[in-house]
Amino acid sequence: MTGMTKFGNANLPADVDLGNALMSLGDEIGVGGNVIIKMDKTGHWVYGADQTLIDPDGRWAVNPASFVKGWVAWGEGEVLAERIFSAYDKAAPRTVDQLDAPPVAAKRGWEQQLGLSMKCLSGDDEGIEARFATTSAGGKRAVAELGVNVGKRINTQSPATVAVCKLGSSTYQHKTYGRIFYPVFEIIDWMTMDGEPVEESASAGDTGRRRRA
C-alpha cells in the first residue's frame, strides 16, 4: 500500500477504555486537523477556506485517537463557543444540562457535535490533514458508526485500528426540507498506527473491509 501515514501512539488510553468509549458514541447521538473538511448541501466534500473539492478517489486515514464529542453554539454563520472533549474522556458532560449557559447570540443554544481528524493518503489531496465536525443527525450517525467499528477492533486487540476510508454521501427524503445529503465513510482498508497494512483472517468479520459507516 502506498501513501502510508504514521499516527504513532497518539496518546491513546488503554485499549479497552478507548474501544468502549468509541463504541458508546452510538449511544450519545491530534484533535483539530490543519484544515476544516465538510460535506456541503449538495453532497460534495470540500475543505479549506477556498472550499476545495476533494479528489473523489482519495483515501483518508482516520486517527482513532481523534474522535471527539461535545457541543457548539452557532451565531450568524460563525461559531460563538465550543465545549469539545475526547471521546474517551469519562469526565466529559453527557447532557447539555451539565454545561454553562450558551452565548446570548447563539441562535439554537448548545448543539451536540461529534468529530474526528483524518489524513489523505492518496490522490490530489495527499498529505492534507483535516478535521471533520458535525451537528447534523446524519453526520453524527456517520461518525458514531465509524467510531463503533474502530472501537470493536480496539477491543478485539486488532493491530490495525486506523480505518482507511473513501468519503462519499447518500440521501434521504425529509418531509419538510426535501432531499437531504449526509456523509458516508466507506471503510476500504485498515492499517496500524504506524501506517502498516496488516494481513487479517476472516475473523475480522463485522469490522472488515467494504463496510459503510
Phi/psi-derived region of residue 14, left when phi > 0, alpha when psi is between -120 and 50, beta in every other case: beta
State which of 28-37, 174-183, 190-199 shows the largest mean pLDDT.
174-183
| Confidence band for 195, pLDDT divided at 50, 70 and 90 | confident
| Confidence band for 12, pLDDT divided at 50, 70 and 90 | low
Q: Which residue has the higher pLDDT, 203 or 114?
A: 114
Provide the pLDDT for residue 121: 96
Provide the pLDDT for residue 34: 81
Provide the pLDDT for residue 197: 80
Mean pLDDT on 48-61: 96
| Mean pLDDT, rounded, of the chain | 84
Residue type, 21: A
Among 6-10, 27-31, 66-70, 117-121, which stretch is predicted with the lowest mean pLDDT?
Answer: 27-31
**Whether this model's pTM surpasses 0.75:** yes
Provide the pLDDT for residue 24: 63
pLDDT surpassing 70 at residue 17: no
Provide the pLDDT for residue 211: 38
Of the chain, the percentage scoring pLDDT greater than 90 comes to 66
Task: Please write the tens of the pLDDT for every residue from 157-194.
Answer: 999 999 999 999 999 998 888 899 999 999 999 999 88
In contact, 168 and 186? CB cutoff 8 Å: yes
Task: Please write the tens of the pLDDT for every residue from 73-128.
Answer: 999 889 999 999 999 898 889 898 999 999 999 989 999 999 999 999 999 999 99
In angstroms, the CA 190 to CA 198 distance is 7
In angstroms, the CA 132 to CA 142 distance is 11
Residue (of 131, 71, 133, 132) closest to 103 by Cα position: 71
Question: Where are the chain's structural domains?
Answer: 30-66+117-199+206-212
pLDDT surpassing 70 at residue 137: yes
In angstroms, the CA 120 to CA 125 distance is 6
Provide the pLDDT for residue 194: 87
Provide the pLDDT for residue 54: 97
